[in-house]
Amino acid sequence: MAKQQGIIIKGIGGFYYVESADTVYECKARGVFRKSRITPLVGDFVTISVNENSENTVDEIHSRKNFLNRPPVSNIDNLIIVISTTEPKPNFLVSDRIIANAEYKNIEPIIAISKGDIFSESAVKEVYANSGIKVISLSENGSIEELSSLMKDKTTAFTGNSGVGKSTLLNRLAPELNLATAPISQKLGRGRHTTRQAELFKVCGGFVVDTPGFSSFDFEKNEIIPKNELAYCFREFREYLNGCKFSTCSHTGDKGCKICEAVSDGKISKIRHENYISLYKAASEINEWEIK
């Protein structure tokens, strides 16, 4: 029996497929996890026992950086949000909801602007100019190389509305995938939206999450941010948070709010702030017991 470190790249039917030292091992989870009500997740870094005469086992799940409820996946480093300039037009409320949840889950959001050769990118760039979030124009030379470097040794997920060009982008990053503007899951031989199970595959020296869940990335229902923590998920707000007149400031229009003042001064995007207010109001309607 040999102990090895690895990462779970797929789980199906109670079996977990762990990549370790360029080899994939089929493993069963030890009963202690079931007794403790702990479920191994795709993306988990684990210690396994490789046994010649019996089944391999997952012995230990290492500490998680983060995890998502649906799809169930852990330790995501990057979330690349593809926003098209047209067809479909940008929906900044949806984008900011996704970005806020990424921030809350300690996932680095990266905006990739598509179709900049068809319509001006200025609207997208203006909204995120002072956000502190990296914005990459896919129409510019070197954009693919820049994205590739950000994905190296990382686990990355992609999201964006249907038609924004996620498959086109993945084809540029990894031509060997040969995706025909179809979901990654079809390339891997699975029917569209037939599973919520995540899977990792290698791209650009790292892993990319493959799951139908990320095609729509329905954070609104599955990931909840408490209203008192929401402002911290807008990173350009953070430097102003301790300067408000009242410690109970909601940053939605309260007297003496430094964030509202920064919006008026053009230091924070008005659209980003309006989206924050919409998300804050929605969060205010959620009962505390609903927040896990």
Predicted confidence band of residue 290 (pLDDT cuts 50, 70, 90): low
- Give the per-residue pLDDT at 150: 97
Structural domains of the chain, ranges and CATH numbers in brackets? 2-62 (2.40.50.140), 73-219 (3.40.50.300), 225-290 (1.10.40.50)
pLDDT tens by residue, 166-192: 888 888 888 877 654 444 444 444 334
pLDDT tens by residue, 187-213: 444 334 334 568 898 999 999 987 654
Q: What is the DSSP string of 59-91?
A: EEEPPPS-EETTTTEE---EEEEEEESSSSPP-
Predicted confidence band of residue 1 (pLDDT cuts 50, 70, 90): confident
What mean pLDDT, rounded, does the chain reach?
Answer: 87
pLDDT tens by residue, 110-160: 999 999 889 999 999 999 999 999 999 999 999 999 999 999 999 999 888
**Do 203 and 37 meet the contact criterion of CB atoms below 8 Å apart?**
no
Range of weakest confidence among 71-80, 105-114, 173-182, 232-241: 173-182
Structure tokens at 108: 């680095």
pLDDT tens by residue, 258-280: 999 999 999 999 999 999 999 99
Structure tokens at 114: 């598509």
Range of weakest confidence among 49-63, 140-154, 210-224: 210-224
Predicted confidence band of residue 27 (pLDDT cuts 50, 70, 90): very high
- Give the per-residue pLDDT at 289: 59
